[in-house]
A and B are shown apart, each in its own frame.
Chain A
Amino acid sequence: MADSVVDSDVECGINEGDYVVLKRGDVYKSVQVEKSKKIIFEKQWIFLNAAIGELYGSTFEVDTGGKLNIRKPRNTEDDATEAKEAGQDNRHIMDDGKSQKLTRDDIESLKEQGMKGQEIIQQLINNSTTFRDKTEFAQEKYIKKKKKKYESNITILKPTSRILARMYHGREPGKVCHLRYDTLAQMLTLGNIHAGSKIIVFETCAGLVLGSVMERMGGHGSVIQMYPGGGPVRAGMESFGFPSHFHDTLHEFPLCKVNALLSGTLNVDEKETDSANNGQSEEQPAAPSSGSSESQSMEGSTDSAEAKKLEERLKLREQKAQEKRVKMEEKRKRLAAAAALLEGRNADGLVIASRFHPCSLLLGLLKFVAPSRPFVVYCQYREPLIECYTKLREQGGAINLKLTDSWLRHYQVLPNRTHPVLLMSGGGGYLLSGITVSADAATSGAPRKTGEPAAKRIKLD
């Protein structure tokens, strides 16, 4: 209960430093609110100063030169056009390219005068010779099109999985391996992601999948992000703007140490050699620097100012080394914490969505998952998942394997004009999901396969 109270307070107003999502029509952009920072959105420069203190979900009109934001009270009546006059069909409408009496220059000068979008649209309608002859539906379509172009209303939203997943898919599908939002939805559900569980995530989707998993866990339980290369990518996760206690539940573990962890050689590595390395790296830069400064100070001892400078530089260097040491120690602690979480091999789920070949990832990381837990692997292509499926079938340890994809179709629903939207996404990637089971302890896989029960199963199929 306390949580939800805090939650509602936080959601009330837009604060400086908040991660928000700008929305114009169907276009989204995620930004952090900063005073006097220029942001480009939909070919417009904007400042978010005026948004600070306003409520989430508010709509703003971007004003011309100053690029300041004015709050626009919500009034539904502003669409009402005066006398309704419309044609029946288009048999007399000719395309002579001269129906609009305003020239491009006229429109530009209207804009420069600072005329509001709505007024420009009215001007366009008044100066269109064919508008009155158009059917009611065509008029509506015309206005809608012009609105999209000249009215620049921006709504500021609180980020959610839904919004960010749609944003990434719309703007930068390459960054999220073309993971479509309905596929992400399947992943979160098939993975049974919920508060209190311990989930392993491996993704190269800019942190979007990680953030979505964290949102569904609500800061309860733990998430272990396995990462390739030098460090985890989390930009997408940051865009969610989670409260700080969410970050306490997030751990990371480098993929390149998985083998060491599995073979039990990691502990020695990180506690002994790693700290030894730390010591060395501290000494190495420290030794020559102290030496050189000594000799320098001996030579130039007459110049006290220079000596002071040197001393300061030395101090700075020492401070930096200290900071580095603290960071290393922090990193080591985090690694140890993540290793401890993984070592139990009792994770409650595994979510993979990456540009890497999923097969070895799945077989390797599945070893950290407890029996009777769901796992889900995303791949943009089907063939690698076919291989995963085959290998898992051979190896055992997983049941209820399903290779799926989904189709997403949007509809335009309007009086007398309801139909599927003309353009739809061709593919949102593929998923392989399943449930882990205990590998047999004593008996090997061979008798299982040839034994009587297996024969029975074959009969079943």
Chain B
Amino acid sequence: MASKVIHALYTDDDLLLQAVRQVREARYSIREIYTPFPVHGLDKAMGLAPTRLAITSFIYGIIGLIVATAMMNFIMIQDWPMDIGGKPSFSFIQNMPAFVPIMFELTVFFAAHLMVFTFFMRSKLWPFKKAENPDVRTTDDHFLMEVTLGNHDAKELTDFLFNTGASEIKLIDNK
């Protein structure tokens, strides 16, 4: 279904934040915003839900801890409990201090790497991904707000956006 969107370009992040608030107040729906750098408070102004990435990371860390514990318990205690330099290998707890460095590192390793992969998957980033850049200037010094036209009048919305301080407004046919 073909839908139309309006691209409004801004040259200043303060202006953009102001515009986002006005657009939301007027109950137009913002589809996407493109900025060259993180704009502090933009997610709050847009009303985006907070990320749950930290929660996944915590779970991955626990998985890493379990992997390390299970691995060393099997290898060092269950499978072949050798006497290596007099270290007590009768039970896991007896020899635990020697395993802590590995338990720590694997916890961090799993928490960090799996979280990064989660981020890549959720944000759909990979090496040969086609860039979704509506305007090349948004990687340098322009801010672009994409507003869905919907059933609104194009002229009215354009005027509204112009009044929020947009420096350039385009009507785009979305395929």
Is B truly associated with A?
no
